[in-house]
Amino acid sequence: MSSSINALVFDVYGTLFDVYSVKEKCDELFDGKGEEISILWRQKQLEYSFLRQLMGQYEPFIDITRDSLKYAINKLNLEYNQEKELVLLEEYKNLSHYPEVETVLKEMKPKKLAVFSNGSRDMLEPLIQNSGLSSLFDEIISVDDIKQYKPTPASYSYCLKVLGLEREEILFMSSNGWDISGAKNFGFKTAWINRNKLPIEELNQKPHTIYKDLNGIMEWK
Amino acid sequence: MSSSINALVFDVYGTLFDVYSVKEKCDELFDGKGEEISILWRQKQLEYSFLRQLMGQYEPFIDITRDSLKYAINKLNLEYNQEKELVLLEEYKNLSHYPEVETVLKEMKPKKLAVFSNGSRDMLEPLIQNSGLSSLFDEIISVDDIKQYKPTPASYSYCLKVLGLEREEILFMSSNGWDISGAKNFGFKTAWINRNKLPIEELNQKPHTIYKDLNGIMEWK
């Protein structure tokens, strides 16, 4: 499709790793409420990252992940305690990656591979370590280094700086429509991994291409 | 409770007016899908205002309201057309206000009363006009004048400038927890109108006081 692409940059949560794989552990701890908790947890996690950035009250993603879990548990009228919190935050370092991830990364390896995430290093690095995928990545890039959450232009700009490439040389992949909009807005080539068959976000930033999972990107070899 | 309060500032959507009162018209146009549409519409409307601010792609709230409606209809696999869009956007200028609003505003009238909203004037002014409440407000303040959505500190700062008061003299009311967090973060006194019995937002900005509807604010007379 294009040999001008020299680096593949992957979002992490929802793109390489299934954030809803916490469901089982949530089910165990909260008696069958796993699905509800995992959906609300993720929704509030994103919302809090946006709101804190807007308020000028940045907080690392690990703390936002804790805060949003607390909200989700309170909202569902379940009993919150620190022990359960610790178990679930630990679970976030052991999310499952999607089945095609390893094969696709290996196939694309001749190119530079990086992850670029809102996650802070204390959650991102153990996750990638535990997944057994670390050796495949050339860079782990966290917005926490500059305290600018995606989708601010400053966040994508930092990613570009770390990679030391021109923005046209980068293909950015995310399953999060808002993240694709932000990356496109900044000037990356974008591939939306639309795992959940969602409609396009109405943010006036259409992705360059859309795939149902990561297998689609093999055409950029 | 405090005589040092000289102005009462009200958020509009969700606080004075029920954004879910579009439900009936949605039901009519989309065969009983009114509740689903109205919930998703509101959720995406807020999300798009946050995301556009973060991306540096401000767009007036009337356009965000149109975009988010389109997303909601697509997400629910319903048939979108421009005629229905026009009817529903018109409906947004005729939202119902909550039953206690008029009485409470009249009781509090000796103080300066203002609305402060993310809404652009082309939707905000007709709404307040149509409600019959216009004569009760001293100011209609829209973030659109400076293109800074709440909860950015710049938005609340603009509100303060228009009112020409000290921030301690202002009591700000909103049913939106994120808006209360933003206002508290800026330094307003805040009353969260918790109409839906929601848990507190975990954004480290607890409101000064919480009421179940606007009747509670009468203690600030």
pLDDT along chain B (221 residues), means of 10: 82 97 95 95 98 98 98 96 96 97 96 97 97 97 98 98 95 98 97 97 97 96 85
Residues B87 and B106 in one domain: no
> B181 vs A55: CB contact, 8 Å cut-off?
yes
Give residue A207's domain range. Answer: 7-18+95-220
Testing the interface with B: which of A42, A47, A54, A155 to mutate, by most B Cβ within 10 A? A54
Q: Does one domain contain both B150 and B215?
A: yes
Given A44, A54, A198, which is nearest B50 (Cβ)?
A54
Q: Which residue of B has its CA nearest to A198?
A: B75
Within a domain: B29: yes
Give the chain A residue nearest B197 (alpha carbons): A75
Shared-domain flag, residues A84 and A114:
no
Tens of pLDDT along chain A (221 residues)? 555 899 999 999 999 999 999 999 999 999 999 999 999 999 999 999 999 999 999 999 999 999 999 999 999 999 989 999 999 999 999 999 999 999 999 999 989 999 999 999 999 999 999 999 999 999 999 999 999 999 999 999 999 999 999 999 999 999 999 999 999 999 999 999 999 999 999 999 999 999 999 999 999 98
Instruction: Quote the pLDDT of residue B3.
Output: 59
Q: Do B109 and B184 lie in a common domain?
A: yes
Residue A1 lies in a domain: no
> Does residue A114 belong to any structural domain of this protein?
yes
Question: Are A50 and B48 inside 8 Å of each other by CB?
Answer: no
Q: Which of A67, A153, A202 sits opposite B68 (nearest CB)?
A: A202
CA-nearest residue to A197 within chain B is B75
CA A73, CA A80: separation in Å to the nearest integer? Answer: 6
ipTM field: 0.97
Q: What is the pLDDT of residue B221?
A: 85
Mean pLDDT of chain A: 96
Among A206, A163, A200, A201, CA closest to A184:
A206
For chain B, the domain total comes to 2
* Per-residue confidence (pLDDT) for residue A59, from 0 to 100: 98
The tokens for A90 are 């630990």
Q: What is the pLDDT of residue A1?
A: 52
Strands B7-10 and B170-174: parallel
Mark out chain A residues that contact chain B at CB-CB < 8 A: 44, 47-48, 50-57, 59, 67-68, 70-71, 74-75, 149, 151-153, 178, 181-182, 185, 198-204
Q: Do B152 and A178 touch (CB under 8 A)?
A: no
Is the same domain home to B75 and B102? no
